[in-house]
């Protein structure tokens, strides 16, 4: 008796004791697997076809080996596009020996191995819960720590946005872009923090410079250079 089975998207004509290489099945060597997609079966000229599968038909097979097929190279090139692509693929294969061809809902003489997912669920549902609890416990402190660090980094910026570092004087502001190194963007940032005149820049103390260096995107050297230029401009 023979049967036509479908597995891995391909069809195979098999008989008892046939050795067959099919696309990978999740099973260990020596285990029995069941293939329920039987398209046809028969003996000699008497053949029964399914629509698409034969009801109650089943093929069992023993896993002999888990391996790989030869590497297939796919090379693509586009003319005049300087485009080339080379991809290699090596298909995983399972070698099986056909054990039985069963018809009419008959039961196999050897029971098929449970699927890996089912085995894992049946063996250790409590272990899964414990692992999940441990993972959650480990993840919680990390998240808390990360949030604390993020808040600590964001705190100075939020404080800077909430209130300006300096109090802007009354009167007309000076054009700070006259100072070499201060562009429109830097002048706007300084104005938002209350620095709008040459006199303010000229009177900055080293403590003020350190504060600007901490809360604004300017280095201490830049601010000190602007301070020296502002002293000269403030005299005019």
Which residue, among 131, 74, 95, has the nearest Cα to 22 in the 3D structure? 95
Mean pLDDT along residues 41-51: 89
Considering the chain, what is the average pLDDT of its residues?
83
Decide: 76 and 84 in contact? Cβ < 8 Å. Answer: yes
- pTM for this prediction: 0.45
Per DSSP, what are the bridge partners of residue 93? 23, 67
Q: What is the 3-state secondary structure (H, E, C) of 93-133?
A: EEEEEEEEEECCCCCCCCCCCCCHHHHHHHHCHHHHHHHHH
Q: With a cut of 80, say whether residue 107 has pLDDT above it.
A: yes
Per the structure block, which two tokens stand in for 100? 């039985």
| pLDDT score of 149 | 64
At 113-127, the pLDDT tens digits run 666 555 555 555 666
Residue range 51-55: mean pLDDT, rounded: 91
CATH of domain 176-235: 1.10.150
Asked whether the CA dihedral 141, 147, 148, 153 is positive or negative, the reply is positive
Q: Confidence class of residue 140 from pLDDT cuts 50, 70 and 90?
A: low
Tokens of 176: 């700070």
Q: Residues 217-231: pLDDT tens digits?
A: 888 888 899 899 888
- For the record, the structure tokens of 223 come out as 């601010």
Of the two residues 214 and 10, the one the predictor is more confident about is 10
pLDDT at 165: 85
State in Å, rounded, how far the first CA of the chain is from the last one: 110
Statement: residue 158 has pLDDT above 80? no
Residue ranges covered by each domain of the chain: 2-114, 176-235
Q: Name the band, by pLDDT with cuts 50, 70 and 90, for residue 171.
A: confident
Q: Which residues contact 84 (CB under 8 A, 6 or more apart)?
A: 75, 76, 77, 78
pLDDT computed for residue 213 by the predictor: 84
């Amino acid at each position: 008796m023979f049967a036509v089975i479908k597995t891995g998207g391909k069809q195979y004509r098999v008989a008892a004791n046939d050795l067959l290489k099919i696309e990978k099945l999740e099973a260990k060597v020596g285990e029995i697997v069941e293939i329920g997609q039987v398209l046809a079966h028969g003996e000699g000229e008497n053949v029964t076809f399914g629509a698409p599968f034969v009801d109650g038909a089943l093929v069992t097979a023993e896993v002999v080996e888990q391996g790989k097929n030869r590497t297939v190279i796919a090379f693509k090139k586009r003319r005049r596009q300087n485009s080339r692509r080379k991809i290699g693929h090596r298909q995983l294969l399972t070698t099986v020996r056909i054990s039985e061809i069963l018809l009419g809902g008959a039961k196999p003489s050897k029971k098929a191995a449970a699927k890996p997912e089912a085995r894992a669920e049946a063996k250790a549902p409590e272990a899964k819960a414990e692992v999940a609890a441990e993972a959650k416990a480990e993840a919680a402190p990390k998240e808390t720590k990360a949030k604390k660090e993020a808040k600590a980094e964001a705190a100075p910026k939020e404080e800077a946005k909430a209130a300006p570092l300096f109090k802007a004087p009354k009167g007309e502001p000076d054009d700070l872009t006259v100072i070499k190194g201060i562009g429109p963007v830097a002048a706007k940032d300084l104005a938002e923090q209350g620095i709008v005149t040459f006199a303010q820049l000229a009177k900055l103390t080293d403590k003020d410079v350190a504060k600007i260096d901490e809360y604004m995107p300017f280095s201490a050297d830049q601010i000190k250079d602007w301070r020296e230029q502002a002293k000269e401009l403030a005299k005019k």
